[in-house]
Amino acid sequence: MAASGAVVGGGGRGGRLGYLSLALGVSLLKCLLIPAYYSTDFEVHRNWLAITHSLPVSQWYYEATSEWTLDYPPFFAWFEYALSHIAKVFDPEMLNIQNLNYASPKTVLFQRFSVIFTDVLFIYAVYECCKCIEGKKAGKELTEKPAFILSILLLWNFGLLIVDHIHFQYNGFLFGLMLLSIARLFQKRHLEGALLFAILLHFKHIYLYVAPAYGIYLLRSYCFTANKPEPTTSNNFKAFPFQEGSLPCLLGSKLLGFVQCFGQDALHYRLLSVGKPQDAAIYLLLTTTGHYSLFPLLFTAPEFPIKVLLMLLFTVYSFSSLKTLFRKEKLLNWMETIYLIGLGPLEICCELVFPFTPWKLKYPFIPLFLTSVYCAAGITYAWFRLSISLLPGPAVGKAKLQ
């Protein structure tokens, strides 16, 4: 088993270098995406840079020159304030509140690199999470080790690539805080984990719906721990009480992976995907459906081959790596397989056939409608399958349990 100081994919300096190579590779890919299309979120964050840099704190949440007013919690506002002092070196004009929709080449370069640079926290958090994964037998290949597979599933996450580095947001930085908080809980550093989660809530309020899971887990594993023996190993997923325990605790743990899948993919569920074949199957359903649901965000022609190629590469790796890890298990049944294959014809109809039909002008919403309904069906099914997995199994004799 991987010990507390284990590194991703192997021991010592070589393992760390291997992980750094993965991180460097994905960072270089992000640099290649700098000239790509960006959404209105680009202007949102440029305006927040201008607001926090040009106005006193008392006016940050009242400035309304732009329709994109500052509406994130205070820590994110201070985050923008810190970035604005670096932005001034690139192009001071981006910090002028009156320069609506300002996007000079230097502004684009700064904004893109700000996302890439702050992803350092995400890279570190993934490393800490992967250290908590129980290793396989020493004779296995590096590419078959759960920690190595998980590091790729997290670092090369297709959803984060297109949402943060094309569409434009800072989700990698925020997910970094979340994953680092989870890693600290795995490591029994409960107060650090709780503090990091509290900090995360002050960056983005959307994470509030993960709070019940934290409350349940901390009550069970930190507050109500009198006369409870400590697990024999503290730094792997099997010892983490999220996985084994009462139904409420299980529900709390699964929420960490499930509640985020609708908007930003089941990123946290990847932590469980390398543990059991049932979780791997749910992960494949959620991540494939969730990633495809992001396609409408990139609706310009130049980005079409980029999004299709990146998703195909990531999806093929996800299926092949998890199938290798659970080679004796059948992950998906025939109905689930047909559903996922159906994403291909759906994309052909929406992107290649519909634009040449007479309905394009009168009913332009049809492709988005079809995509939403199809993906909602898959996510709902995954939710039911997840709910069933939470039900208690057959009773086990006390002697056998011990």
Alpha-carbon span 211 to 200, nearest angstrom: 11
Strands (E), 109-185: none
pLDDT of residue 169: 94
The pLDDT value recorded for residue 278 is 86
Q: At what angle do helices 12-32 and 105-130 cross, to 10 degrees?
A: 150
Q: pLDDT, tens digit, for every residue of 376-390?
A: 899 889 888 888 877
Domain ranges of the chain: 12-32+104-225+232-391
CB atoms within 10 A of CB 327: 9
pLDDT value for 394 = 57
Question: What pLDDT is attached to residue 249?
Answer: 35
Task: State the 10-residue block means of pLDDT for the chain, 402 residues long.
Answer: 44 71 94 94 96 95 94 96 96 95 96 97 94 60 82 92 94 94 91 95 90 88 68 41 37 36 53 79 90 90 92 94 87 94 94 90 90 90 84 53 42
Quote the tokens at residue 299.
């609706």
| Contact (Cβ atoms closer than 8 angstroms) between residue 37 and residue 302 | yes
Residue with tokens 């070589």: 14
Distance, in Å, from the CA atom of 318 to the CA atom of 10, rounded to the nearest integer, reads: 21
pLDDT at 163: 92
Q: What angle do CA 38, 372, 160 make, to 5 degrees?
A: 40
**pLDDT tens-place string over residues 31-89:** 999 999 999 999 999 999 999 999 999 999 999 999 999 999 999 999 999 999 999 99
What is the 3-state composition of the chain as percent helix, strand, coil, each rounded to the nearest 5?
A: 70, 0, 30
- pLDDT score at 238: 41
- pTM exceeds 0.95, yes or no: no
Give the DSSP per-residue string, 54-72.
HS-GGGTTT--SSSS---S
Q: What is the pLDDT of residue 244?
A: 36
